[in-house]
Amino acid sequence: MYILDRYIIKELAGPFVFGLAAFTCILAGSTVLFYYIGEAVKYGIPILTILQVIIYKLPGVIAYAFPMSTLLAAILAFSRLSADLEIMALRAAGIGFNRLIIPVILLGVLISGVSLWFNESVVPRSAESAQNIMRSFKDDFKPKIKQNVNFTEYDPKTKDPVRTINVAAVEDDMLKNVTVAEFENGKLARIIRAKSGKWNNTGQWIFYDGIMHYFPTENKKRVTIIEFKKEFVDIKINPTDLTKRKKYLEEMTILDLKERIDFKTRTGDDPTEDKVYFHLRLSVPFACLIFSILGATVGLRPHRSSSAIGLGISLVVIIIYYILLSVSMGMGLAHAIPPSLAAWLPNIVIGSAAFYLLRRIA
């Protein structure tokens, strides 16, 4: 049986590599190539530099080509086995389709894992490098000194304000003229003013040369004033993050997305878009497994000996998948459905069809 597994995996490997190259070229040509050639003409970017940018953008394209290539490989491999009557011979030998699908599932799991690693390790770094090159020509870097940084931190449960913060200027890692107003149960409890401050990596702010005003809730007429040279305050928001260039979603890892979701939740911003893309980072790699099963069941339908027909079926299924993905993402961003469902709905639909065909064939 191990010989059979190796044989089926070998049949899958060739079409998978072909599909990965073909779909990468198709996607790159239709999305990346023309856009960045236009940017090169617009901003006068040298041809070698724009070629470097295109190369940096290719991993993002390859990430979306993984599921497509898995589907094509399964369709072509099982179409060939079925057309040459090898499936019939295996069934005559007592080997059922449930046994034949095992190496396909194992390969689908492996490709899903590789796709997830690729999305986390390669795509964000290459996308960030491409953006940095483009921004250097667009002269769009933000200054190192940020003026008047203001934000409010909210309680995630009650949505009441916890504190409001104003920083007159942020220069490198130093904060200038900081004012913090803290609330308890929606009422002002403390005001901190400091000439300077900074953030340490333990989750605290350090204030220097300042003064505190306490407003006890039990005695509204009493105010306690404390002057200090150095004071530690537990504030989990890193103020220097506000001065950094905002990353595009393709430049962020799952951990980065989670941190930004937490930050937006605390500061009262809507994190729906980030939540959708957070789940999308998991659902798209998992689609490789679903497409491997679907491709094997479609490939066994009578007729499919032509590679062109297999490629055509793959394109139809992929178009349906990405139409479903676009619709579900739109519904998720519009708050019509939860972000997790928006990312996973196409997998649920395509997966249901795959398991239905699998049961009929088995």
Cα angle: 314, vertex 292, 356; to 5 degrees: 90
Tell me what pLDDT residue 325 has: 92
Tell me what pLDDT residue 142 has: 47
CA–CA separation, 17 and 12 (whole Å): 9
Strand 224-234: give its sheet, edge to edge: 145-154, 161-171, 174-184, 187-200, 204-214, 224-234
CA–CA separation, 323 and 315 (whole Å): 12
Tell me what pLDDT residue 136 has: 79
Tokens of 72: 């094509």
Residue 157 φ then ψ, to 5° = -90, -55
b (16+ CB within 10 A) / e for 275-300: bbbbbbbbbbbbbbbbbbbbbbbbbb
Q: Is 215 helix (H, G, I), strand (E, B) or coil?
A: coil
Tell me what pLDDT residue 58 has: 93
Low-confidence ranges of the chain (pLDDT < 70): 1, 139-146, 172, 201-203, 220, 236, 238-245, 301-308, 310, 362
Q: Is 45 helix (H, G, I), strand (E, B) or coil?
A: coil
CA–CA separation, 90 and 97 (whole Å): 9
CA–CA separation, 290 and 310 (whole Å): 17
Whole-model pTM: value is 0.74
